[in-house]
Amino acid sequence: MNKEALDKAAQDERDIVNRYRALLRSMEGKADNKDKKMVREAFNLAMDAHKNVRRKSGEPYVLHPIEVAIIVSKEIGLGPTSIAAALLHDVVEDSDYTLDDIERMFGEKVSRIIDGLTKISGVFDQNVSVQAENFRKMLLTIADDIRVILIKLADRLHNMRTMSSMPAHKQLKIASETLFIFAPLSHRLGLYNIKTELEDLSLKYTEPEVYRDIALKLKASKAGEIKYLKRFSSRLRDSLKKENISFTLKERTKSIFSIRRKMVNQGISFEEVYDKFAVRIIIDSTPANEKSDCWKVYSIVTDHYRPSPERLRDWISAPKSNGYESLHTTVMGPEGHWVEVQIRSSRMDEIAEKGYAAHWLYKEDKSATDNLDLWLNRVRDMLENSDQNAIDFIDNFKLNLFSAEIFIFTPQGDMRILPKGSTPLDFAFEIHTEIGAHTLGAKVNGKLVTLSHKLNSGDQVEIITSEKQHPKEDWLNFVITSKAKSRIKQSLKDESNVIIGKGRQVLERKLNFIKMRANDSTVQRMVNYFNLKNPNELFYKVGMGIIDNKHIKEFAKDNSGGLYNYLKNRFVKTQYAKESDKATAKKSKVPLKAGDARILVFGNEEEKLDYKLAKCCHPIPGDPVFGFLTSNEGIKVHRNNCSNAVALQSRYANRTLKATWVKADHADFLVNIIIKGIDTVGLVNKVTQIISNDLSVNIRAINISGDDGIFEGNLTLLVTDKLHLLRVIEQLKKVEGVTSVQRKTGN
């Protein structure tokens, strides 16, 4: 071994020892000698299992499980059992060690966690994209032991932190699935710091230019912002000290992802985001006094700065279902800047930082652990009562368990937590299945409302029931919770089965009456004759009276010639179907445009394939893009930051293709841009002159409307590539009165 290799080996050893010592330091105060011995043995086993293995970045692989264990210990706050499991999380999958070996050396608890981690490794593996069925399996594991998912979130966080050495198309897929599932999941479990970092890191790879632009602007304004926040805080510090309140005050700017989300949702520029500043006041208080102390601090804050009434969030009186407690207000600071102020106790802050893991430090906090059990029960309920396909299941899971929440009260004053957008029917099924099934009407705050009425937080709901009432098919349009949907579907299915049974008997009786055999062959011929999907649909329609005596006699008449006529009719229908299929295929064949036949290639082999540019985001040369294989329109090309990209990359990763722009002949591409500003005389003329005359750009459509001195315009232009578009945007920004020009990201 040469000197360079020896030096590298020595440096690797120093790095491993240093990070292992950092892990031990993170455990101080929560591990006895027996625990430390277990962690040491887990470290030794990980060293042996991963010896001579390196990550794509070139560093020793064993550094990865050590870093995951540090996150588990320091950032999530789990104990020695979880730390040992984190060190061993890849051992069974990547080496000859078995689960039996793990159980023999570390006991049943560690072995069970490793088993769960190994079962769902395909879901989180950084080289494999999330697949819907695997996600369902992962949820089963969550419901069994919450530590499994907490360790896997730590694993995902470290992979995201060290993803720079991976190929760009893999970075995009992993970042997309992180945004789609894992950031919301960490938020749902109360891990706000991890959620924020996952979001920012995901944005870094899904929209690198946007991320870089916001990061540079934040960096450029950082010194001024720190100075401003110090000035803002100094008055609060003095007043809090005068009141003898023991506190810690932290100043910060909002995350890159949250700023970007506000820019997109409100259609504004970075400069127009008015509440980039945030201050957190953490008070030392006993559980008995913390609520009143927090409101006392709120009173001090609003003595100095005027609050926005619409921006008060009281999660102390009504904590979020993941246990989050805090008092939020947004106040007007000096120089006309809005500042968000968060007020909480040290106990609340610990829970906000470390989620449910922190609840185990506060044994008296029974409500928080009850909320966790309630959430896990909802997960189990969804799993047990789901007959949806996997993709729909994921969508419903995200909607029901990751969405914003509202707090609804029963007539007796009991509170229920529901997803935002819920209706009285959702509430009824949340109270009890039987109440939901027999819902006749509902009163909200004493007034009769429709079953499709959208509930708001704080509403008091009374459900009116009747034994004669039963679920109807249109109820599925009135509910959003998985519990309500599954119960309604099950009820309709049960009712349908009764009608199918009745229809089968009626059909047999009617066929016998007209001297036709009621056998499988006749039933199948009737299914084909009436263009139905299967025999059950036939029986259902007979049972409902949709197919009656008249229809059955027509069938008998058309089939009176026996098998010959039946085959003849079927042949004609089959031929028609084939011709129809040919027409559809011809119609769906991807047309190649004159200028774009060779401007994109796909995959690592850079194959030349037919494709279409997606209309939802109108990609142009220079945009980071990917190909998506549709079911009937061939390959559609989307921009990486398309509004549909995250869902496509995470839900259908196996149908996405790496796409690369190549040199092509001159071609024009459609783009949509939004222009805003102060309405001035001759503005439209100035805009069209710059676009058409100065830049020689073809305008396909222009729509500019003004109101109270403010205008907003939508322009559809033809440009050659991204550089061309950027030149257009820069020139338009120079027009007097124009305050922002942005490319439209969606439809």
Residues forming the active site: 93-94
Amino acid letter, 173: K
Rounded Cα distance, 533 and 409, in Å: 45
Specify the DSSP class assigned to residue 32. -
What whole-number distance in Å separates Cα of residue 747 and Cα of residue 738?
23
Measured in degrees and rounded to the nearest 5, phi and psi for residue 340 equal -85, 130
Question: How is 681-715 classified by DSSP, letter by letter?
Answer: TTHHHHHHIIIIIIS-PEEEEEEEEEETTEEEEEE
Please list the residues that pair with 626 across neighbouring strands. 638, 658
Closest Cα to residue 697, out of 665, 673, 661, 680?
673
**What is residue 633's DSSP assignment?**
S
Residue/partner pairs of 620-624 with CB below 8 Å, 24 or more apart: 620/669, 620/671, 620/719, 620/720, 620/721, 620/722, 620/725, 621/661, 621/664, 621/669, 621/720, 621/721, 621/722, 622/661, 622/721, 622/722, 622/723, 623/722, 624/168, 624/172, 624/208
CB 587, CB 642: distance < 8 Å: no
Bridging pattern class, strands 277-283 and 338-345 = parallel
Find the distance separating the first CA and the last CA of the chain, reported in whole Å. 60
| Helical residues (DSSP H) of 544-603, grouped into ranges | 549-558, 563-588
The first and second tokens of residue 281, run together, are 């006041």
Q: How far apart are CA 620 and CA 617, in angstroms?
A: 9
Q: Return the SS3 of 599.
A: coil
- Number of Cβ atoms within 10 Å of the Cβ of 227: 10
CA dihedral defined by 490, 492, 494, 497, rounded to 10 degrees? -130
Segment holding 527, helix H or strand E: helix 520-529
Q: Are 702 and 688 in contact (CB under 8 A)?
A: yes
Pairing mode of beta strands 710-719, 625-629: unpaired
Distance (Å, whole) CA 620 – CA 725: 9
Contact 616, 643 (CB under 8 A): yes
Q: Helix or strand or coil: residue 415? A: strand
Structure tokens of 202? 């995901």
The CA dihedral of 334, 280, 264, 624, to the nearest 10 degrees, is 120
Q: Say if residue 113 is exposed, middle or buried (CB neighbours under 10 Å; 0-12, 13-18, 19+).
A: buried
> How far is it, in rounded angstroms, from Cα 219 to Cα 565?
80
Alpha-carbon span 635 to 403, nearest angstrom? 32
Best CA proximity match to 640, nearest among 612, 659, 665: 659
C-alpha–C-alpha distance, residues 571 and 489, integer Å: 37
Task: Give CA–CA dist 741/268, Å, rounded.
Answer: 9
- What is the dihedral sign for C-alpha 416, 421, 427, 433? negative
